[in-house]
Amino acid sequence: MAAGALTRNKKKGAKSQTPPLSKRTKSNITPPPKKAAKSHKPPLKKQRKVISEEKPEVSTDEEEKEEEEVSEQSDELGSDFFSDGDGEEKEEDDDSEEEDKEPLADDFLDGSEDEEGTLGSDSDSDGSDLEKESKAIDEERKREERDAKDELQMNIKEQPDEFRLPTKKELEEEASGPPDLPTLQTRIKEIVRVLSNFKDLRPEGVKRKEFVEQLKADLASYYGYNEFLIGTLVEMFPPVELMELIEAFEKQRPTSIRTNTLKTRRRDLADVLLNRGVNLDPLSKWSKVGLVVYDSQVPIGATPEYLAGFYMLQSASSFLPVMALAPRENERVVDMAAAPGGKTTYVASLMKNTGIIYANEMKVPRLKSLTANLHRMGVTNTIVCNFDGRELPKVFGQNSVDRVLLDAPCSGTGVISKDESVKTSKSANDIRKVSDLQKQLILAAIDLVDAESKTGGYIVYSTCSIMIPENEAVIDYALKKRDVKLVPCGLDFGQAGFTRYRENRFHPSLDKTRRFYPHVHNMDGFFVAKLKKMSNETKASGNELVETKEQAQLSSDDDDDSIEELKKPSGASGKPKQDIKVDKSKRRIPISEPNYKGNENKNASVEGPRKQKKKRSQWKAEIAQAREDKRKVMRKNTKESGRR
């Protein structure tokens, strides 16, 4: 019993004296609390003495168990247990071990407390540092906000809330020196802001007209427009949209090309050009043949594909009139202003080189580029001619073709980004002259078209201008003079045309026309209208009807006179022919004897215009006969050339 109790005490003493290495390492990393450290305190001295005095020889099994439980550092202590010395030596060894161990334990306990103190102090110092840094950041942020508010208040004090127009003295000072562009830009922005909400931002005692006039002057000075053009643009567009339009005119439009479907497909052409280093994309959903070019490592107008006629350099806006015309195969089509041939070749590709296209160009120098492009693109159904467009109904004959494309000459106010000289070179007189020419051309185009055509009877009118006198006013004039009506253009995008402008009121159907702007559609400014000819008769106003009736009556009277003169013999009376005419006029128009002289004067005044009308009718008859003879000769020549 004593031996068993002794072995149990030995195990307890051994376990309590030497803890495992893993536990000690953990305690070094994270020191345990004080209570846990006291639980690992070695046994008392008296207990160790009793154990050493009564300790017998230990079996090997117990040694193996102890070796498994004890760590590597306790091997020395175990060797003391297995030594063959006397009990006194063992007791001395135990005392020495106790003395050695106790300071270690004290150091261990003291170290844990010190470590705890150091860690606590470090954590406290770190926390205090973080708190100081956060306070400093908050103070810095508050100081910046305070400075920003102070600066804003200073700016508000410097600039008044209400915008003030410059005085005459200030304007004179500005005019005396070079233009101050930053000042002009700031003033333009402020004026546009006030005009966009003039009801709420209106200064007291200042009219809207004053703001508008100042805006015109500033825009003309800043962007370089003349007074007429900038005034017209200000009247057409609201202030915000006006600024967007003018800014868009300052930027170049993207380069676009049109695939020639007579020779290739768009996908194949895009693959070839991509391999040559051309960065491109499809133009848009509304076009199946267009490509937009962003940049190119090779000249886009000198590639082998261009020279072979696979594509045509053409602006996106030039696609629109041909798409609106929508020509069909085996039709007779006239392009009244064809050079340089972009629209003509597009029409030919849509017709698949069938039918006949008359490509007319009035300016001889431009015929070279037109002919060259037709040959390069492989067009074989086109006849190039050089006539004044107003004379084409006399050349081809009235009501002789199915469709007419009239891309009329214009002022070019829609392509300012390409030609900045338009800003200063156009005047009201130029617009009026061009408008008169366009009205004559559109009437000639309508006269060319056959209203009874089974597939056609359409006229497409287009300009690269945004001026209303060149667009809506011309179409309204055609609606009044000819039996035509406006039809949808077949284009899914674009803004509707004007039905009213200032004092002008146009036909309500003009909303079927389409306008295109650079700031909205990213293409040149353009106008497209499509007309359908309803009959081959011409409309006439009330004055024209009266004139035609008077002319018919006078001509019938003249014919009666000539017939009677032929029936009478030459010597029937000795009176001259003039007396006979006067007698006949007296006989036709009864007069009273008292007013004979006055009536005679009236007859003389009436007889004067009769002779003039007679000469005019003879002149018209001669012209008509000459035209008919010319047509017969042309038909005869064409038949002979066909036989050859």
* Annotated binding-site members for S-adenosyl-L-methionine: 337-343, 361, 388, 407
324 token code pair: 């609106």
CB-based burial label for 173 (10 Å; 0-12, 13-18, 19+): exposed
Dihedral class, residue 224 (left if φ above 0, else alpha if ψ from -120 to 50, else beta):
left
CA 247 distance to own-chain centroid: 12
The set of catalytic residues is 464
The letter for the amino acid at 493 is F
462 token code pair: 């287009």
Write the DSSP assignment of 340-378 as a string of letters.
T-HHHHHHHHHHTT-SEEEEE-S-GGGHHHHHHHHHHTT
CA angle 374/375/380 to nearest 5° reads 75
Contact 215, 192 (CB under 8 A): yes
Phi, psi (deg, nearest 5) at residue 352: 60, 40
CA 406 distance to own-chain centroid: 26
Handedness of CA 557, 563, 567, 573 (dihedral sign): positive
Query: Judging by DSSP bridges, how do beta strands 278-282 and 290-296 pair with one another?
Result: antiparallel
Contact 293, 256 (CB under 8 A): yes
CA dist., res. 479 & res. 473, Å (int): 10
Nearest Cα residue to 513 out of 501, 525, 495: 495
Length of the chain: 644
Handedness of CA 54, 60, 65, 67 (dihedral sign): positive
Widest distance between CA atoms in the chain: 195
Q: Count the helices and strands in the chain (H runs, E runs).
A: 26, 15
In the 8-state DSSP scheme, what is residue 101?
H
CA dist., res. 528 & res. 522, Å (int): 16
> Could you identify the residue written with the tokens 């007074």?
227
Contact 201, 208 (CB under 8 A): no
Query: Judging by DSSP bridges, how do beta strands 458-463 and 526-538 pair with one another?
Result: antiparallel
